[in-house]
Chain A
Amino acid sequence: MTDTATAYVIENVSLYGDTRADLVLKDGVIASLSAADAPEGAVTLRGEGLIALPGLVDLHTHLREPGREDAETIETGSRTAARGGFTAVHAMANTTPTADTAGVVEQVWSRGREVGLVDVFPVGAVTVGLGGTQLSEMAAMANSRAQVRVFSDDGKCVHDPLLMRRALEYVKTFGGVVAQHAQDPRLTEGSQMNEGLVSSELGLAGWPSVAEESIIARDVLLAGHVGSRVHICHLSTAGSVEIIRWAKAKGIDVTAEVMPHHLLLTDESVRGYDARFKVNPPLRTQKDVDAVREGLADGTIDIVATDHAPHPDEDKDCEWGAAAMGMIGLETALAIVQKTMVDPGTLSWRDVARVMSEAPARIGRDGGHGRPLEAGEPANVTLVDPGAAWTVEPAATASRSNNSPFGGIELPGRAVATFLRGVPTHLDQALEGVRA
């Protein structure tokens, strides 16, 4: 790890893709926007052609530790996150043991600190053991050193409407938010892929859009009724976008996230029964892809989150029905947003800063992240080279697992440097050449 005392100067970089400045990173903060203020001995990087964004924040990550260290650890997960341009990740609660006590969330939080590559914010379980029957001690987690603000049974839906109502009300005590995995369990029993023409042809049990939409509709109504905020995880259907749009128009305090894979891939990818494309919620149709892109562009969908879900080879290299659901995505997320939203002209880089840093940090109440690139602010910065095209090689990832669905796909750009409180946690080899 680089000495924290080292200062960095990024000369002539484009802030948010629209404003030229220098960035002087010193003592954990952005010390100045002028290289003239750089201290002696500072390492200088040339910023021409690069875009500076506030460090990316992922509201939806599975780090697998504790319990499934064969798939990912907090260390490998932090490394792949830093390489993807992230300075903070929210680690989902579906570990073994479940992150449903102050003890477990503090363990995850402190291990994240030890590794020091990203800020690891543990997500607390809404119900004990993700069992869906009894609220976990959310206040204990909120008041622990981990200061949990996001609560989710992700992987499972908080299906009981009364329990969901109680959870929504209860987290108001400490300004928390419930992040709902919207999936009606009865409508999706045994489901293997999106219910549609492709599932009919392939003979795979369908996961109908309505199973997501009905839960979202119920939960925005509940949130409106009790005056709480609610966050919708991995929104994937055109109907869900409409419901969120309606709820926001009504003034309901709802936020929603979309995954990079739902911005790019459709259920047509399933035709070869290759389990790398098995994910929950499943890949949908082109109509849904178009709708979630539109929703992200017009602000109906607030953020992009990865749902980075590592699985070892043996859980993917098998028949579809036996395979685990989920894909890794921390290293590809930014590039897919560029490919699907920025390059077509529907989002600016300033919008990317909003949907991948500022808004997720605001939803997660992450102090120090998603802040403006201004003097005096924490030096959590990501440098993007939008012209550094690359072809995804799943085996080259820093993640412990390589279950990426994007192998062989060419992506237009990538994060070339990530700074966490002024310390580089990722410096692309290509950047070495531009070191002044």
Chain B
Amino acid sequence: MRHLLDTDTLSREDAILILDTAAQMAATQEREMRKLPTLRGRTVVNLFFEDSTRTRISFEAAAKRLSADVINFSAKGSSLSKGESLKDTALTLQAMGADAVVVRHWASGAAHRLATSGWMHGHVLNAGDGTHQHPTQALLDAFTMRRHLVSEPTGKALEGLTFAIVGDILHSRVAGSNIPLLKTLGANVVVVAPPTLLPYGMTEREDIAIHYTLDDALDAHELDGIMMLRVQRERMTGGGSGFFPSPEEYTRLFGLDGDRMRRMPDHAIVLHPGPMNRGLEISAEAADSPRSVIVEQVSNGVAVRMASLYLLLAGEEAAE
């Protein structure tokens, strides 16, 4: 692997390798001395064109625990707002000798552009591009699912398990990465959303089950896990451009509360990429229940990002 840009082009072997490596990384994090010397002397730049404190500190923690030097570069402007262009930023990072760039950008395809434009030679990790993908989020979700639902998980995928993804599929890069990765790993994918928040053409896909209410999905499937997506409040505002009429109606049709949670099999887990809107897409009872693995997702995120950085940077040395 040279870059980690999306989960469409991630092979099953590489995905499982990342999950297995993440498991080893997670084991090291239970020791008293958590820091590994693996990436000493390498420079990882966190290039964030969009605010995301959670993702940035997760990548920062991952890089630091591998002893890499970390530079945080917050470029809040864009070439649209006459800030520095992506190209000039890339040229700057190249000149500074960045070995890997973790990029979060408001434009779909920005990570792809950075990796393929020839502006810089470092490895590119996509930490979320527009409404396209967020591959390490999907990998940490898969890691969490595998840990809870697959016995002796090393080397295994998610064969035959069924997961529902609920909410704003249209704008969610989390869904954008999770759906292909779950399919690659052999899982069944159930999508639950109002028709206004489904991407064009998704209803014609035969490899995905689609439901327009959460109750229908719970009736139709024995779920092993359910992933509630964050609802952006700005999606429901604006004359005529709201994707659904009101928060209350959304919660009635798509919110996960205690009653709906109990209709899932006992072993089923509840995931959320955070930050949560408690009371909107998920109730406090569901979020704080023993089935919820939401806090664990955060710590697994560090392990998966350690694994990704390690495989891109140290894997390169092994190959050379």
Contact = CB atoms under 8 A, between A and B. Distances in A.
Mutual binders A and B: yes
Interface string B195-206: 000011110000
Interface stretch (A87-95, A131-139, A192-200, A215-223): A192-200
Interface in B211-247: 240-241
A432 interface: no
A320 B241 contact: no
Given A205-B131, A321-B108, A273 B201 contact: no
A56 B305 CA distance: 58
Q: Which of B87, B107, B129, B199 has the most CB of A within 10 A?
A: B107
A3 interface: no
A197 B113 contact: no
Contact of B132 (A189, A202, A318): A202
Given A186-B240, A189-B241, A195-B200, A203 B86 contact: no
Interface string B121-145: 0000000011111000000000000
A200 B180 CA distance: 12
Contacts of A206: 200
Q: Which of B105, B110, B173 has the most CB of A within 10 A?
A: B110
Given A203-B129, A206-B200, A320 B86 contact: no
A319 B199 contact: no
B38 interface: no
Given A197-B201, A203-B132, A314-B85, A320 B116 contact: no
A379 interface: no
A: contact size bracket? 20 to 34
Contacts of A160: none
B112 interface: yes
B41 to A, nearest CB: 31
Contacts of B176: 203
A204 interface: yes
A344 interface: no
| SS of B interface (majority) | loop
Contacts of A192: 108
Nearest to A313: B87
B109 A204 contact: yes
A322 B79 contact: yes
Interface in A25-58: none
B108 A272 contact: no
Interface string A301-327: 000000000000010011111100000
A200 B108 contact: no
A192 B132 CA distance: 13
A200 to B, nearest CB: 4
Interface of A: 186, 189, 192, 195-197, 199-206, 208, 272-273, 314, 317-322
